[in-house]
Structure 1
Amino acid sequence: MHTSLVPYPSTRHHPPMKTRTIAALVLLAAALPAQAEPSAAVQTEARDMFAKIISYPSVAGSPAVGQLTQYLAGEFRKAGYAAQDIQIIDSDGHPGLIVTLRGKSRKPPILFLSHMDVVGAKAEQWVSDPYTLTERDGALHGRGTVDNKYGLLAQAQAFIRLKREGFVPNRDLILVFSGDEEVDGVSARAMAQRLKGAAYALNSDAGGGFRGKDGSLSYAIQAGEKTYASFELTTRNPGGHSSRPRPDNAIYSLARALTKLEAHRFPAHWNPVVLQGLQAQLPTLQDPMKSAVSAFIANPSQQTADAIAAIDPAAFPELRTTCVATMLRGGIVENALANDATATVNCRIFPGETVAETRATLARVAADDKLEIKPLGNPLESPLSEIPPEVRTALAKQLPPGTRITPYIEAGATDGLYFRSAGIPTVGVGPLIETEGSNYNYHGIDERVPINEFNEGLDHYYRLAKALAGGK
């Protein structure tokens, strides 16, 4: 995915982080100088590696994901990693890669998360080949340049540079690259179970910064995300010929249930992260929404939350669980009554609520004892993560002085949910500093990352790793 407060998301997982959130933070930060870029040699090596990474059309389930995994493993071997420190994992046909930079102690390790897979791209719709890194209009174009191969590159380059330098951290540092984030997350789920007990994880697929036109800078850390869960709602009856309609028509029964669900609004929830995120957005809002959000921050309640929804029902989905019908099927021929009708309802569940509770709410709202409600797959609840104080401190030191750092809850989901579910606190600390003209267009046509942002973010995880594990 790539979600972002500006940085990213994926169709399955992430709606883009609201740009207004980071833009709001900009209004609260003083004008700041840009970060120093890494050396020309680092930029050149990273650019060459990026071109290779982009060249793999690594759509989940395709052979290219395995090929990219092998390429990356080879680069780590060349950097000096021992064979036992490079593990290629197979999870039901989905590759994953775990690389360990050995530390001096047995302290719980720090994980660095990225994903190797991308959504598909049709070459005929792009100006240039989506799987050939192309420089144009001050940006690098190609599928995955933002979601999530830039985060992947920045983390891989950090580990390669640290190994070459002979850096020995005060604890193990572990890269975790998944192969199917954009679909089922099987590889991330398996690797999270393998790595239980880690101190915390730093996810490149969420969070990041925003630089205003005046140079002011803010940075948002993803502290939580909604649980992704889909349900199938099915009604059944004996069917029959269309010339003799029955009163218990399966399609009509399902339609009535869906109409009730459409009208239902889940209760609002709030916590310090939600309130801080809303506070940050206030400067970008206009009345009447600005007054409604101000009232909610001052006095969080269902009443003040409903006042926000009354102005715009689609605003601030991070305040509550949401469920929406996304797929329908029923009937096989036009002159026969359907024996069954099924709808897929996709839910994004607020941290702290359970899948079972959400299913029970769907059943209560539909109020049809004959309606079958079945969860799809094995959805996992994703608790809110406390931001490790040393992570906030390290970010504050490497970002320009005065940068406002604020947590937020993602309305979508990333691989981070599997690590949180495994008991590993996970925070999104993406490497990119976006501007109003970045136009990443991840998941879309002509995905791109501006060259200046590409260069500026290359040291992000290199610096974080040193700061968090005893380096200078």
Structure 2
Amino acid sequence: MRLTALLFLLCPAFAADRFPVDWARIKPELLEHYSALIRIDTSNPPGNETNAVNYVKAVLDREGIPNQVFALEPDRGNLVARLKGNGSKRPIIVMGHLDVVGVQREKWTVDPFRAIRKDGYIYGRGALDDKDNLSTAMMLMVLLKRMNVPLDRDVIFVAEAGEEGTSAVGIRYLVEQHWDAIDAEYALAEGGGGVSRDGTVRYVSISTTEKMPRQTRLVAHGTAGHGSIPRQDNAVTRIAEAVSRVGAWQPAMRLNDTTRAYFERLATISSPEEADRYNHLTDPKRSTEIEKYFSERELSHYSMLRTSVVPTIIKAGFRSNVIPSEAEATLDIRALPDEDLRRVIHDRTVEVVAAGQASRPGSPPSRLDSEMFLVLENLTKRLYPGAVTLPSMLTGATDMAQLRAKGVQSYGIGPVIDEKDRNTGGAHADDERLEETSLYRFMEFLWNAVTDIAASKKR
């Protein structure tokens, strides 16, 4: 038995029990900060995260929490705050990003930057991505300071810019130029969360790895000419054929430690028919049938099990009667963490061009036997009896990739949402929203997790 698991058996009490919080008093304060941060428009582009940094900094300054602002560009600030421990253990990061994706206001039923409270929900851009993690992490620091919680390890709060596509001013900038300010053993950030049905939490997902995003362009070359004279080397025809081949490409399903554990645990709370599929993913007699089922009905699982290459943009020509000499297609590649990207596209009829610098590095999954993961797993059992902890691999991308590449064991967490809300009002969606009670439960989850991993065992 590993030492960390043994410690949990010998010390079943949670550190948070020694630091009781009057949540009834804290909830209005948390809601105020959460709503205020949603009302600060940090749509990226252009970001303007410094406006939100100024709000967060004012809160931390009032509480006497040391903090620093790092900015590669004046309007794209990042804030790092630190509460010191006794140094017996390495630090933990709690992280949220300040920026949000843009909105199409005409498609919203409410103002996306007013934090409207309606029918038990808070509506607004960033409600789920990522003003929830941002506000709860900030409130965590406030509570640790107010309650004078003794710490074995430093707790570092990172409010970062540029997560939505411009990490050069955010996490990449911090990692490359200010690593000493954020170097840590563990990190908690976005990328997970629970799902409930009829008020009961079924499972809590903890992301431990993610697919690698790589934008790539295919460029077809031909001879320009008049549209009335067909040519065999038509660049548009060539790019269309190349895109068709990409769309038909089916890489083999592959499991890693995270996805293997995910499907094994998911099977325990699924219907017999679903469990049968999840338990036979690697059965050569069943894999083709299961693969087809996933491709039609469980698209997220279909993506989770393979490197995906999706054509998203095609550009060619400028007049209807002119054959262009060049045509191109943009591919959104989401690669498994251990994928050799040189082998993904090997079409000799087109030129393969990397579309900009890779925004996120490849990195190994965070461990499932670390002290941090065991804390999260045991906390799930305690707060949500009967719920299963699912280690998961994100098909999207987060800024934990840069931290994992530096050796930080990073885990994605988030609030619990009801099953019926999964396909409406989610991250990046019109009318993005979060149930108010879910925000409060997530605050308690984060408080318990961090105090258990960071608070001194003796007062």
Structure 2 counterparts to residues 194-343 of structure 1, below 5 A? 194-195=178-179, 197-203=183-189, 205-213=190-198, 215-282=200-267, 283-284=269-270, 287=273, 291-296=276-281, 300=282, 304-313=286-295, 315=298, 316=301, 317-343=303-329
Q: Is contact 2:44-2:100 (8 Å) kept?
A: yes
1:223/1:56 CA distance change after superposition, 3 Å: same
1:469 to 436, 454, 457: 454
Listed one character per residue, the Cα deviations across residues 240-283 of structure 1 (whole Å, up to 9, x for unaligned) are 22233321111111112112112211122112321222233435
For residues 327 and 268 of structure 1, what CA distance do their matches in structure 2 show?
Answer: 26
1:103/1:91 CA distance change after superposition, 3 Å: farther
Q: Is contact 1:117-1:180 (8 Å) kept?
A: yes
For residues 229 and 327 of structure 2, what CA distance do their matches in structure 1 show?
Answer: 18
Structure 1 counterpart of 2:363:
382
For residues 63 and 216 of structure 1, what CA distance do their matches in structure 2 show?
Answer: 35
For residues 277 and 237 of structure 1, what CA distance do their matches in structure 2 show?
Answer: 47
For residues 114 and 458 of structure 1, what CA distance do their matches in structure 2 show?
Answer: 13
Q: Is contact 1:197-1:423 (8 Å) kept?
A: no
Q: Structure 1 stretches (4+) deviating beyond 6 angstroms?
A: none
Secondary structure of residue in 1 paired with 2:344:
helix
For residues 74 and 284 of structure 2, what CA distance do their matches in structure 1 show?
Answer: 44
Q: Is contact 1:330-1:338 (8 Å) kept?
A: yes
1:375/1:443 CA distance change after superposition, 3 Å: closer
For residues 351 and 165 of structure 1, what CA distance do their matches in structure 2 show?
Answer: 41
Secondary structure of residue in 2 paired with 1:323:
strand
Structure 2 counterpart of 1:394:
375
Q: Is contact 1:352-1:384 (8 Å) kept?
A: no
Structure 2 counterpart of 1:415:
399
Listed one character per residue, the Cα deviations across residues 88-124 of structure 1 (whole Å, up to 9, x for unaligned) are 3336963222111122116421111211111222444
1:94/1:404 CA distance change after superposition, 3 Å: same
Q: Is contact 1:111-1:173 (8 Å) kept?
A: yes
Q: Is contact 1:106-1:171 (8 Å) kept?
A: yes
For residues 255 and 87 of structure 1, what CA distance do their matches in structure 2 show?
Answer: 48
Structure 1 counterpart of 2:438:
453
Structure 2 counterpart of 1:23:
none
Q: Which letter does structure 2 place at the counterpart of 1:377? A: Q
1:44 to 17, 28, 35: 28
Q: Is contact 2:91-2:153 (8 Å) kept?
A: yes
Secondary structure of residue in 1 paired with 2:232:
coil
Listed one character per residue, the Cα deviations across residues 114-144 of structure 1 (whole Å, up to 9, x for unaligned) are 1111122244433332111221111122221
Across the aligned residues of Structure 1 and Structure 2, the Cα RMSD in angstroms comes to 2.5
For residues 436 and 59 of structure 1, what CA distance do their matches in structure 2 show?
Answer: 28
Give me the TM-score of the superposition, normalised by structure 1.
0.82
Q: Is contact 2:316-2:327 (8 Å) kept?
A: yes
Secondary structure of residue in 1 paired with 2:218:
strand
Q: Is contact 1:88-1:95 (8 Å) kept?
A: yes
Where relative contact order (Cα < 8 A, 6+ residues apart) is larger, the structure is 1
1:303/1:162 CA distance change after superposition, 3 Å: same
1:147 to 117, 129, 135: 129
1:346/1:216 CA distance change after superposition, 3 Å: closer
Structure 2 counterpart of 1:373:
353
Q: What's the CA shift for 1:459?
A: 2.3
Listed one character per residue, the Cα deviations across residues 401-458 of structure 1 (whole Å, up to 9, x for unaligned) are 454222111111111122112322211122x122234454332222221122122222
Listed one character per residue, the Cα deviations across residues 20-76 of structure 1 (whole Å, up to 9, x for unaligned) are xxxxxxxxxxxxxxxx99522211111111221111111123364210111111211
1:434/1:40 CA distance change after superposition, 3 Å: same
Gaps of 5+ in 1: 1-35
Secondary structure of residue in 1 paired with 2:134:
helix
Q: Does 1:190 align with 2:176?
A: no
Q: Does 1:56 align with 2:40?
A: yes
**Aligned pairs, number:** 423
Q: Is contact 1:69-1:88 (8 Å) kept?
A: no
Q: What's the CA shift for 1:471?
A: 4.3
For residues 108 and 87 of structure 1, what CA distance do their matches in structure 2 show?
Answer: 22
Q: Is contact 1:181-1:414 (8 Å) kept?
A: yes
Give me the TM-score of the superposition, normalised by structure 2.
0.85
Identity %: 24
Q: Which letter does structure 2 place at the counterpart of 1:428? A: G
